[in-house]
Amino acid sequence: MSFHVTGAAAQEILAAAGRSGAAGMALRVAARRTPEGIAYDMGFDEAVPDDEVAVFDGLTVLVAAASRPLLAQTVLDYVELDAGERDFIFVSPQQGGCATQARQCGSGGCSGCA
């Protein structure tokens, strides 16, 4: 899988799964083109036959065939954006290395540079 999840993001997603009753579920990551760029979605899900599956620091990640080209070489990270404020970002070479903020695990629909 050419999509990557950092250790910090994996640990925060695993913690969120535990808090939300989704412990043991995989994280589905999806991407689609919009007029503004690429929109990213993520949430807990079960695998289906066409999924590419990878494990990052104990987190199972699912990517459907339709999203793979848009997620190629993209990194999901969990970083400090402002003092004391941490959030998920997608860093994509397809957007010139742009970091696109994801509001929260499962919120989806993020595009544009953070």
- CA neighbours closer than 13 Å in the CB half-sphere of residue 65: 3
pLDDT at 35 over 70: yes
Q: Which domains are seen in the chain, by residue range?
A: 4-102 (2.60.300.12)
Give the pairing type, strands 59-63 and 75-82. Answer: unpaired
pLDDT at 89 over 70: yes
pLDDT of residue 111: 34
Single-letter amino acid, residue 2 = S
pLDDT > 70: percent of the chain: 82
- 10 Å CB burial of residue 99 (0-12, 13-18, 19+) is middle
Mean pLDDT on 61-67: 97
Give the pairing type, strands 26-34 and 37-45. Answer: antiparallel
Its pTM stands at 0.81
Other Cβ atoms less than 10 A from the Cβ of 22: the count is 18
Single-letter amino acid, residue 56 = F
